[in-house]
Structure 1
Amino acid sequence: MEYRLLGNSGLTVSEIGYGNWLTHQQSVPCVRAALDAGVTLFHTAAAWAGGAAEEAMAEGLAGTPREDVVLSTGAFWPEGAGPNRRGLGRKHLFASVHGSLRRLRTDYVDLYHLLSFDYRTPLEETFLALSDLVRQGKIHYVGTAEWTADQIQRGATLAAEYRVPLVANQPHYSMLWRVPEAQVMPTCQRAGVGQLASVSLAQGVLTGKYADGHLPAGSRAAGAGFARGSIAPLLHSDLLARIEPLRGVAEHAGLSMAQLAIAWALQNHQVAAVLTGASHPDQVVENAKACGRELELDVLTQIDHLLGSFVQTDPRLTFMPPQYRNS
């Protein structure tokens, strides 16, 4: 495993982070496999699996010295039916943080993510609440997730005013989704904020599992509701036809397709780590092998040529869809 500093902070994270949204039976072996592979960054969220994802993370990390792991969680999405059980208002942040600490069996969170921008709450209220939580020692560092460049700049200004250590941003970032490169990453670099890339496997599409159009049982694409809806735009037959030739590129580089996708994201030196999920320990082990791999220019060129116009770069796509602005 290789390690990088996160932004301009003194916090060191493993190049591969493990992100958990699953419950005990599935995730505990994955967490332990990640520890064995040298992973130190573990990310989850209060709303995932109704809090059970945090409990499972705690179970998997049980017995590991607390100072040896970087524990990350966050809030925004609904954690119940009440109107104050979502968003980034002071009342919800305090309740959510304390709930996370209880489920994670810890006194503090190393990195606390604001998992979406809250259009209903004054940003000053959010950062004042974070400042109080930082002073209380319950949060050490703060990050954003899927914020626009303007939102990050506003947040960085308030973070400096309220002495909140804003050091991370968690964008969707992959071979196919390069939207953050134009505006978000330059803004973050000026503010000393590092990137924790997520969805770098494009929800499994870049692993080649859907290249023949088949939807494996148990996969996200074979599911229903939000899971199926989020991946549906990536299942275009023309795009899938471009994905399969990447297998030869990966083999030439001595990598699996998943490792190629992760290594690609890590070529960007603003990326401190790639957050990956897994449903089986073997996936964790294989993903970890992508760290420390330098991709040659001809490999990067072939990737660009194969994916062509399917690569998304428009910075306007960073904005939250209007239907979620009052969530």
Structure 2
Amino acid sequence: MTTNDFRHDTPILTEDHRIPSDTSGIELYVRNKRPASMNTFTNEKTIVMVHGATYPIGSLYDVELDGFTFLDYLASHGYDVYAVDVRGYGGSTRPPEMEQPADSNPPLVRTETGVRDLGSAVNFVLKHRNLSKVNVLGMSWGGTVAGAYTSRNNDKVNKLILVAPQWLSTKPVPIDNGGPLGSYRLVPVGSTKERWLSAAPEDKRNDLIPEGWFEQWTEATLASDPGSQSVHPGHIRATNGPILDIREYWTANRAFYEPKEITVPVLLVHAEWDIDVPLDLAQNFFTSLTGAVYRRWVEIGEGTHMVLLEKNRMQAFQAIRSFLDESYIPSK
């Protein structure tokens, strides 16, 4: 049985930054959590994280469940953790098209833009802490962003952690509902529980999300897009660029980047009931990582695509921390 090893006796500092992107008028929101006692900063103990196609960092990585968040957990174990909202999400600047009707403009914030925004965040952290490398983590679409970034910037990445990253699919991807794509989509947050739970076997659904957790997640998620609440109560806006890329890359048998070009250590975390990234996709992706100096796959039982927010989240947290804690000396 997995134990809760969050270090409650570690005071954690939180700092919020707004950094420039590579586009005039677009700022990126970066949240930092670290031990209050930390005064030495290293490549190995620094992490930069990016979110998926629908929910921002405050909804995926910094929701307090059972008294602490994923960011808190890593900080309590001695990590200097940064998480960035790509433009259009969370605390980052929303492009002006997002204040217009969705059908007035083409899909916004494609994967290439996500890679650039992650790059801006990594460069900020490297300069801010006077480092040469950081660890990088991404989930789902964020796994594509993080993987693509690393494939082009191995020299800036210490280790790479990917939670259920996208990969080539011969079947429709559930996040794409079909039909025309506007610049963004409206996500009805409170009513997503049924779809979330539907990935699990019927007799396992009742205890997948502990009592009160979904409500806490809903509150945090809606708070991430206050501008939408007066116009579209109960909804957040999510850009459609990632959905267009599913159509033009992942279901069209075109890889957005080549996993074999990643040469740093890689951890793949996946859960058995993930219908967004099914098991065969995870396997095909893992076996494509032929350039990684070493790679590991951790499969979490009784979890969905949202395993980081479910009853077995500690299994994922501990696997990620264990991978990061390992000393790694590159061969000459």
**TM-score, normalising length from structure 2?**
0.30
Bigger proportion of residues as helix: 1
Bigger proportion of residues as strand: 2
